C-alpha cells in the first residue's frame, strides 16, 4: 500500500512539473482551460470544486505559524517544456508545514500571475513545488512585480532554453533568493493548476512580492510565446487563511 501511495504522489508531482505525458493541452483554443476536463478522463479533476488558482480574499485570521525554510542546495538544470520555464533543484532543500517535511523538487513561472490577491493580478508568479515522502504536494507561491531586476532570474535567464530544450546550469541558482525577505503568507487547499488538476495540494502564498524587470518578464514570454496562466477558479466553501 505504501508503494502505491508513493507512486500516486510521484505521478501528481510529474504532472505539476508539466509532464508532456497524456493528452495535449494548452492555454487557448480547443485544448485550453475551459476544456481541460473533457480532453481525457484522467483530467476530470479539472472540473472539481477545490481547484487552483483562486482570487485570495475574504481572509480568516488563523495566526499561521512561520514556514520553516531549510533551503541549502542549488539547482541542476533549466527546462523549457512549452508550458513554462522550470528549474529542477538538487536534493536537500526542504520546508516544514504541519509538522511534515516537504522537499523542494522544482520551481517554475507563470505570466501573468495565476492567483490573485484582492482581485489584483501580478505580472508574474513563481511556484516552488515540494513533495513529502508520500508524494503529497505543497506549493509556495511568490508574486512578482515589475521593477528592479531580479538577480536570481538574471542567472537563470542567462541560459534560457528553447521549447523542448533542457540545459545543465553552469551557475548555482539558489531557491532561497526567490523568496521575499518577509515571509508572511496566506494558505488555502487547492489543486494542480495544470492537467490533471489533482486536488489536495497545500498552497502557501507569500503576502509580499519580489520584483523583476520588464525585460526579464518579456524574455520569458519570448521563449514561451504565450501567457501561461489558468484563470482563477471558484473558491466555493474553502477558507482562505492568513
User: Using CA atoms in the order 167, 170, 175, 179, what is the torsion angle rounded to 10 degrees?
Assistant: -100
pLDDT at 21: 63
Considering the candidates 83, 108, 127, 130, report the single residue annotated as catalytic. 83
Q: For residue 43, tell me if it sits in a domain.
A: yes
Quick one: which of 183, 165, 54, 155 has its CA closest to 114?
54
* Residues near 63 by beta carbon (within 8 Å), at least 6 away in sequence: none
The single residue listed with the C-alpha cell 525577505 is: 181
pLDDT at 50: 98
Q: For residue 76, tell me if it sits in a domain.
A: yes
At 98, which CATH number?
3.10.200.10
Strand (E) or helix (H) holding 37: helix 36-39
pLDDT at 232: 98
- State which residues form the domain around 125: 2-224
Quick one: which of 64, 162, 175, 165 has its CA closest to 129?
175
- Structural domains counted in the chain: 1
Distance, CA of 205 to CA of 199 (rounded, Å) = 17
Which residues are paired to 84 by β-bridges?
none
pTM of the model: 0.92
Q: For residue 238, tell me if it sits in a domain.
A: no
Sequence-ordered strand ranges (E) for 59-136:
68-70, 75-80, 85-89, 94-97, 100-110, 116-117, 124-131
* Residues near 98 by beta carbon (within 8 Å), at least 6 away in sequence: 202
Q: For residue 175, tell me if it sits in a domain.
A: yes
Distance, CA of 231 to CA of 117 (rounded, Å) = 13
Q: For residue 236, tell me if it sits in a domain.
A: no
pLDDT per residue of the chain (242 residues) written in tens, 0 to 9? 333 333 333 333 434 444 456 799 999 999 999 999 999 999 999 999 999 999 999 999 998 999 999 998 789 999 999 999 999 999 999 999 999 999 999 999 999 999 999 999 999 999 999 999 999 999 999 999 999 999 999 999 998 999 999 999 877 889 999 999 999 999 999 999 999 999 999 999 999 999 999 999 999 999 999 999 999 999 999 999 99
Is residue 83 annotated as part of the catalytic site, yes or no?
A: yes
* Residues near 66 by beta carbon (within 8 Å), at least 6 away in sequence: 183
Q: For residue 215, tell me if it sits in a domain.
A: yes
Asked if residue 53 has a cis previous peptide bond (ω within 30° of 0), the answer is yes
Q: For residue 232, tell me if it sits in a domain.
A: no
Q: For residue 105, tell me if it sits in a domain.
A: yes
Amino acid at each position: 500500500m505504501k508503494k502505491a501511495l508513493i507512486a500516486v504522489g510521484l505521478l501528481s508531482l510529474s504532472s505539476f512539473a508539466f509532464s508532456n505525458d497524456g493528452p495535449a493541452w494548452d492555454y487557448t483554443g480547443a485544448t485550453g482551460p475551459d476544456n481541460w476536463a473533457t480532453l481525457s478522463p484522467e483530467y476530470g479533476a479539472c472540473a472539481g470544486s477545490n481547484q487552483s488558482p483562486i482570487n485570495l480574499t475574504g481572509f480568516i485570521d488563523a495566526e499561521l505559524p512561520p514556514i520553516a525554510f531549510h533551503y541549502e542546495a542549488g539547482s541542476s538544470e533549466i527546462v523549457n517544456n512549452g508550458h513554462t520555464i522550470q528549474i529542477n533543484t538538487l536534493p536537500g532543500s526542504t520546508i516544514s508545514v504541519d509538522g511534515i517535511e516537504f522537499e523542494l523538487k522544482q520551481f517554475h513561472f507563470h505570466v501573468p500571475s495565476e492567483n490573485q490577491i484582492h482581485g489584483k493580478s501580478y505580472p508574474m508568479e513563481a511556484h516552488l513545488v515540494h513533495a513529502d515522502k508520500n508524494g503529497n504536494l505543497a506549493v509556495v507561491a511568490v508574486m512578482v512585480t515589475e521593477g528592479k531586476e531580479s538577480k536570481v532570474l538574471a542567472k537563470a535567464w542567462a541560459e534560457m532554453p528553447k521549447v523542448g530544450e533542457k540545459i545543465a546550469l553552469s551557475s548555482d541558482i539558489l531557491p532561497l533568493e526567490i523568496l521575499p525577505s518577509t515571509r508572511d503568507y496566506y494558505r488555502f487547499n487547492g489543486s494542480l493548476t495544470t492537467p490533471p488538476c489533482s486536488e489536495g495540494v497545500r498552497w502557501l502564498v507569500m503576502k509580499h512580492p519580489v520584483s523583476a524587470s520588464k525585460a526579464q518578464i518579456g524574455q520569458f514570454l519570448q521563449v514561451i510565446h504565450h501567457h501561461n496562466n489558468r484563470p482563477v477558479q471558484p473558491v466555493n466553501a474553502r477558507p482562505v487563511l492568513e
